[in-house]
Structure 1
Amino acid sequence: MRAYLLLFLVAGAVTYLLTVVAREIALRTGAVARVRDRDVHDEPIPYLGGLAMLGGLGAAYVVARHMPFLTESQPFVVHDAGVVLIAGALICAVGVIDDIFELDALTKLGGQVLAVSVLIYFQIQYTFITWSDGSVFTLDLAQGALFTGIVVVATINAVNFVDGLDGLAAGVVGIGAVAFFLFSYELTRANGLSHATTAALLSAALAGACSGFLVHNWHPARLFMGDSGSMLIGLVLSASAVSLSGQFSSEQLSEGAGGARASLLPTLLPVLLPVTILIVPFTDLVLAVVRRTRAGRSPFAPDKMHLHHRLLEIGHSQRRAVLIMWLWAALIGFGSVLASLYTGPWMWGGVIAMVLVTLALTFLLPKVSAPGHPAQPALTSGPDQG
C-alpha cells in the first residue's frame, strides 16, 4: 500500500507543478476556451491541462520502474503500464491538436481508435468473460479487440461529455480510479496474491494526477483540461480495467473479503467497471445523443441540457453541483465495488444509507437553502460541451 501511496503523491505533485507550465504553453499557442454565446465566462480560459496530467502519470511510471515491489513481481506489471502511457500520450497529442485547431468529430474518433490499437497490438485487451457459475466465454482475437475498442472509446467520450463544470471530470474520474484501486488491491489480498498489478499501479497514479490537477481546476478554474486531458484520463481508467481482465480465475474473482462469496457478479466487474464507475457521464452521453438526434441535430452539437446544467436549474450553485455529481459517482463506484467484494446485511445497509444521503443532498438541499443565493451558471470546459 505504501508503494501505491507514493505513486499517488508523485503523480499529484508533478501534475500540480506542471499545470503552470501547461497554462503558459496554452496561452502562447492560443489553446484557450474562447468566449462563445453559450458560455458565461467573460475571458478566455487556457486548455492543455492534459499535458500536466500526462507528465504526472509519466513521473509516477518512472518511479514505479525503480520499485522492486512492482518490477520483480510479474514482468507484465510495469510493461503493460508503459504501453497504456504510450497510448495515453498518443491520444493526448490528438487532444492537444484539437484544443488548438478544433478537429472535427470524425478525426478525433480516428485518433481514439488509433490509441486503442496500440493497446490491442500489445495484447492489452479482453480475452475472456467469466460468469458467476464458473463458465467461461472465450473471446478470439478479433472479438476481444472489438470489445476492448468499444469499451475504451465509449469511456473516453463519456468523460469528454461530462467535462462541463470546473473540476467535474477530474473529480469523477479520480473517484473512479480510487474505487478501482480498492477493488484491485482487495481482490489480491482476499486471494493471497501479490498486490502488484498493472490495474492498481495505473489507478493509483491516475487518482494522483486528477487530485493534482483539481487544485488548479476547482471553480473558478485557472486552467481547463481540454480534450487533451479528458481523453487521456478516460483511456487510462478504462485501460486499467482491461489490464485486469484474464489475470484472475472465476474462483478468485468470486471470492469476497473474508472468504465470503460476493454478490452482483463480481466476475464481470473487470469488464463492467468503466461503465459502472462512469454511469453518470455515460447516462449524460446517452441522453445527449437521444436529445440531439430527436431534434434533428448532430449528436456532437453542443447544448446546455446536460445533467450538471439541470442541477444548476434546480437551485444548486456551480460548486455544489460538482460536489453532487462527485457524490453520485462515489455512490455508484464505491457501491459497486463494495457489493462485489462483500456480502451480508452490513454491506446492503451501507449501500442503502449511501443512496438515501445522496438523494437527500441532490433534491432536498436546494429547497432548504436560504433564499437570495441563486445558482451560478455553468462554465463549459471543452469544445464539445454546452
Structure 2
Amino acid sequence: MREYLLVILTGIATTYLLVSPVKSFAITIGAQSKVRDRDVHTIPTPRVGGLAMFGGVAGALIMASSLPHLRDVFEQTKTAPAVLLAGCLIVLIGVADDLWEIDPLTKFAGQVAAAGVLIMNGVQMYTLPTPFGGSFSLSQAYGIPLTVLLVVATINAVNFIDGLDGLAAGVVGLAALALFVLGYHIADALTYSSLVPPSLIAAILVSVCAGFLLHNFHPARIFMGDTGSMLIGLLIAAATIQMTSQFDPEIGRAYETYPLFLPLVLLPMVVVVPYLDMLLAIWRRTNQGMSPFAPDKHHLHHRLLRLGHSHRQSVLIMYGWVGLMGSCMVAISFVPPNSPNYLRGVVSITIVAAITGALFMVGWPRLRARRAAAAALAASAESDEPRPRLPV
C-alpha cells in the first residue's frame, strides 16, 4: 500500500504543477473555450488541461517503475506501454478536437484505434466472471469487439458529462477509487499478483483526477477538454477490463465469486450517471432527427441547474450518486459469500439512499424557492403596514 500511496502522491503533484504551464500554453495557442449557448461558464477559459493529466500519468508510471513491488508491472506485462501509447493517441485526438473541433467520425475512429492499441498490448477481455462461479472464456471473435465497445462507450460517457466545473474529474476519480480499493482488497485476499496492473492504473487515475480537480473545481481556472475527458475515460475502461479478465475460474469457484464478479458490474454501477446521460442524449437526439453527437443543453447536469441547484450543488449531487454506488460495491466485496441477508441489506440501503437522493435533488430547490417566496411575502406585508406617527 505504501508504494501505491507514493504513486498517488506523485501523480497528484505532477498533475497539479503541470496545470499552470499547460494553461499558459493554451492561452498562447488560443485553445480557450468560447462562451456558447449550451455552456454554463460565462468567460473564455483555457482548455487542453488533459495535457497536464497525461503528464501526471507519465510521472506516476515513472515513479512506479522505480518501486520494488510495482516494478513487476513493467517487467512481466505490457500494461505500462499500453496505457502510454493508447493515452498518447487519445490525447492527440483530443488536442485536435479542442483546437479545431474535428468531426465526430474522426473522433470515433481515434477512439477505436486507441482501443486497438490496448488490445495489441494484451489489455482485452479474455474471460467473463459469472455470479454463479467460474467464468466464460472469450474467443478473439467476441473478446475484441467487446473490448472495443467497452472502451468507446466509456470514453464517450465521460465526455458527455464534462459540462460542469469539476464534474468529470470528480466522478471518474470516485469510480477509480472504488476500483482501486476493490482490486487491492481482492488481490490481498487471494494473493493474486495479476491484479497489480489494473490496481496501478486505477491508483494513477485517482491521482491525476485529484491533482487536476484542485484547479478545475468551481470556479474552474482551466478545463480538461476532450483531451482530458477521453483520456480518463480510456484509463478507467482499461483498469476495468484488466481487473475483469484476470481471474482464474478455479479461484473464482473457491472464493464463491462475489468479489470476483464485482469488477464486471462495478464500472456501469459507479458511472451509471454518465452512462445514463449518454443513452438519454443519444435517444433524445436521434428521436429529433439529429446526429447522436450533436451538442445540446439537456444533459442531466443542465437539468439539475434548471431545477434550481447551484453549480456546486449540482456537482456534489452527482458526486454523491457515484460515491454511493461505488462504496456499496466495495462494501459487498468485504461480505462473506455465505451472508445473503447482509447482502440484501446492502442492496436495500443502496436503493433507499438512491431514492432519497433523487427526492432531495428534485424537492430541495422547490422547498427553498417556497421559503424564499414566503420570506419575501412576509417582508412585503411588513413594509405595507401603517407605521405609527411620532407625536409632534
> Offset at 1:250?
3.3
> Closer, same or farther in 2 for the Cα pair 1:372/1:88, shift >3 Å?
farther
> Offset at 1:93?
1.0
Helix, strand or coil for the counterpart of 2:128?
Answer: strand
> More deviation in 273-282 or 91-100?
273-282
User: Do the aligned residues in 2 keep the contact of 1:183 with 1:341 (CA within 8 Å)?
Assistant: no
User: Please, which of 295, 302, 305 is the counterpart of residue 302 of structure 1?
Assistant: 295
> Offset at 1:169?
0.3
**Which amino acid in the other structure matches residue 329 of structure 1?**
V
For residue 109 of structure 1, what is the aligned residue in structure 2? 108
> Offset at 1:36?
1.8
Helix, strand or coil for the counterpart of 1:304?
Answer: coil
Residues 18-62 of structure 1: per-residue CA shift (max 9 Å, x gap): 011111111111111112233353321111110000011110000
> Offset at 1:360?
5.3
User: Do the aligned residues in 2 keep the contact of 1:61 with 1:82 (CA within 8 Å)?
Assistant: no
User: Do the aligned residues in 2 keep the contact of 1:70 with 1:196 (CA within 8 Å)?
Assistant: no
**Which amino acid in the other structure matches residue 58 of structure 1?**
A
Correspondence list, 1:155-304, <5 A: 155-194=154-193, 197-253=196-252, 261=256, 263=258, 266-304=259-297
Distance across 2 between alignment mates of 1:127 and 1:73 = 19
> Closer, same or farther in 2 for the Cα pair 1:306/1:108, shift >3 Å?
same
> Offset at 1:248?
1.7
Return the TM-score normalized by structure 2.
0.87
Identity %: 45
Residues 104-143 of structure 1: per-residue CA shift (max 9 Å, x gap): 0000001111111111111210112132333542211232
For residue 98 of structure 1, what is the aligned residue in structure 2? 97
Q: Which has the higher helix share?
A: 2
Helix, strand or coil for the counterpart of 2:136?
Answer: strand
For residue 325 of structure 1, what is the aligned residue in structure 2? 318
> Closer, same or farther in 2 for the Cα pair 1:220/1:119, shift >3 Å?
same
For residue 377 of structure 1, what is the aligned residue in structure 2? none
Would you say how many aligned residue pairs link Structure 1 and Structure 2? 366
Distance across 2 between alignment mates of 1:210 and 1:255 = 36
Unaligned runs of 5+ residues in structure 1 are 374-386
User: Do the aligned residues in 1 keep the contact of 2:133 with 2:257 (CA within 8 Å)?
Assistant: no
> More deviation in 308-317 or 43-52?
308-317
> Offset at 1:362?
2.5
> Offset at 1:69?
0.9
Residues 253-305 of structure 1: per-residue CA shift (max 9 Å, x gap): 4666xxxx464xx4443333332221110000000111111111111111111
Helix, strand or coil for the counterpart of 1:134?
Answer: coil
Bigger radius of gyration, 1 or 2? 2
Unaligned runs of 5+ residues in structure 2 are 374-392
> Closer, same or farther in 2 for the Cα pair 1:361/1:190, shift >3 Å?
farther
- Residue 35 (str. 1) matches residue 47 (str. 2): no
**Which amino acid in the other structure matches residue 220 of structure 1?**
P
> Closer, same or farther in 2 for the Cα pair 1:85/1:369, shift >3 Å?
farther
For residue 384 of structure 2, what is the aligned residue in structure 1? none
Distance across 2 between alignment mates of 1:57 and 1:313 = 36
> Closer, same or farther in 2 for the Cα pair 1:254/1:230, shift >3 Å?
farther
User: Do the aligned residues in 2 keep the contact of 1:250 with 1:267 (CA within 8 Å)?
Assistant: no
Distance across 2 between alignment mates of 1:114 and 1:195 = 25
Distance across 1 between alignment mates of 2:40 and 2:319 = 23
**Which amino acid in the other structure matches residue 26 of structure 2?**
A
- Residue 314 (str. 1) matches residue 307 (str. 2): yes
User: Do the aligned residues in 2 keep the contact of 1:132 with 1:250 (CA within 8 Å)?
Assistant: no
User: Do the aligned residues in 1 keep the contact of 2:73 with 2:197 (CA within 8 Å)?
Assistant: no
User: Do the aligned residues in 1 keep the contact of 2:92 with 2:227 (CA within 8 Å)?
Assistant: yes
Helix, strand or coil for the counterpart of 1:69?
Answer: coil
Correspondence list, 1:63-82, <5 A: 63-72=63-72, 75-77=75-77, 79-82=78-81
